[in-house]
Structure 1
Amino acid sequence: MHEPDPAHLIDLSDVGRTYDDGPAALSGLNLRVRRGEALAVLGPSGSGKSTLLNLLAGLDRPSTGQVTVDGLRVDLLSEAACAKYRRSHVGMVFQFFNLLDDLTVLDNVLLPAQLAGTDRAGAAARAGELLDRLGIARHARARPGRLSGGERQRVAVARALMNRPPLLLADEPTGALDSASGADVRELLRELNAEGQTIVLVTHDLALAEACATRTIELVDGRIARDVTAAVTR
């Protein structure tokens, strides 16, 4: 059995994923991501990028191989354990924000803590800290629909970081933003990684990858076709 290396937050060993009789979405994938890395995943549509994110999030299971995150064999977890794993280990940021428009900004950010059973006072303090840090504290009582795209993505990032997850997953985080808001989110992700946050982001935005990623892989037909580590200074 493959033994994970504790220096790596993510360790995928010989991972394959097939759906029905179609071609393999991932095939024999071996990938290790060190703690504190920012990994950009590039590749054409159908290359396996979304499948990789879903496996790391425990939203899908591999057909073959092992998926280990922070020492946990995610592929072996029960559905209930996967839900707990996502609450404690993974923050997720999506292209279209996935905020609840009937809740305030503050309540959207508080939601992961409530699901995890965190006490209200502690959760409120953490949420206030995040909103202030991300420059959106003035919008705490507003509904997300009244915010710009860039502001909504900042709310989504705050929500993703609420439970201090070791892993932040971002799926096309600038895909629905104008150029100015996209640049704002790129800078935010770069700052988070500089502070030690491990990030895996799927993107078609080469500027995002170049600005944020310490390492870039390209998937083609479910395999890693390119794996490049950025220069130390970026």
Structure 2
Amino acid sequence: MPEPLIDIRDVTKEYDEGAAVLKGLTLQVRAGEALAVLGASGSGKSTLLNLIAGLDRPSRGSVTVDGLRVDGLSESASAKYRRSRIGMVFQFFNLLDDLTVTDNVLLPAQLSGMPRAQAAARAAELLAYLGIDRHSRAYPGRLSGGERQRVAIARALMNRPPLLLADEPTGALDTVSGADVRDLLRELNSDGQTIVLVTHDLALAESCATRTIEVVDGRIARDVPAVTR
């Protein structure tokens, strides 16, 4: 059996006041899975996502992603890791309003040094795949919430990362736009994209996750595969 894409071993995360947010958590995620992480506010689910992204470090334990020990990286190596191996989607899109849709999508390629012609072709491919190519020259402020989230997903996929992380990707969307993004994430996973998403949206977890875990007080209280999707 191949090694897991994400391998978290006995991770504890404590902050200065001494309270442990994660408590000896162990988790493996295989390539091609779509994992939904559920839990109440303060349960540790966002901390878990930050550890996988290399935005935070565990107090104890190890975090390995795509064969790389993330918890031991320097700040510059961690930034390079995120550019090359991680795509991130946020609740409030984090798009730059003074850049066009295409220019927002191109940002990761520019940071990673991708040749301009190759980057332009990749951006056009993604915008067409995600159904927003007609907005390529528009500015984010002129788009709906669902369209802006599609732009954010295109940006996250620009460098072909093996792992897509999504933090409450439907949290700022209306019901129709949220359903649209759920369908998109399910389609991406069906095409082979590994996804880890943190959400309070049970409909999102049920519709697009192949597996769901629930984090309670820093530990995995439930870990179940999807029966149907």
Normalising to structure 1: TM-score of the pair?
Answer: 0.96
User: Deviation per CA, 1:12-31, whole angstroms, max 9, x where unpaired?
Assistant: 00001011124211110000
Give ranges in structure 1 of 5+ residues lacking alignment: none
Alignment of 1:31-180 (within 5 A): 31-180=27-176
- CA distance in structure 1 between the partners assigned to 2:219 and 2:178 by the alignment: 28
- CA distance in structure 2 between the partners assigned to 1:6 and 1:80 by the alignment: 29
Does structure 1 residue 14 correspond to structure 2 residue 10?
yes
User: Deviation per CA, 1:96-150, whole angstroms, max 9, x where unpaired?
Assistant: 0000001000000000000000000000000000001111001111110100000
- CA distance in structure 1 between the partners assigned to 2:15 and 2:60 by the alignment: 12
User: Deviation per CA, 1:67-111, whole angstroms, max 9, x where unpaired?
Assistant: 000000000111111010000000000000000001000000000
Contact 1:95/1:174, CA 8 A, preserved across alignment: yes
Give ranges in structure 2 of 5+ residues lacking alignment: none
Alignment of 1:23-38 (within 5 A): 23-38=19-34
Contact 1:24/1:222, CA 8 A, preserved across alignment: yes
Moved over 6 A (4+): none
Contact 1:6/1:71, CA 8 A, preserved across alignment: no
Q: CA deviation at 1:181?
A: 0.3
Q: CA deviation at 1:6?
A: 4.3
Normalising to structure 2: TM-score of the pair?
Answer: 0.99
- CA distance in structure 2 between the partners assigned to 1:168 and 1:104 by the alignment: 23
Counterpart of 2:20 in 1: which secondary structure?
Answer: coil
> For this pair of structures, how many residues does the alignment match?
229
Match of 2:224 in 1: 228
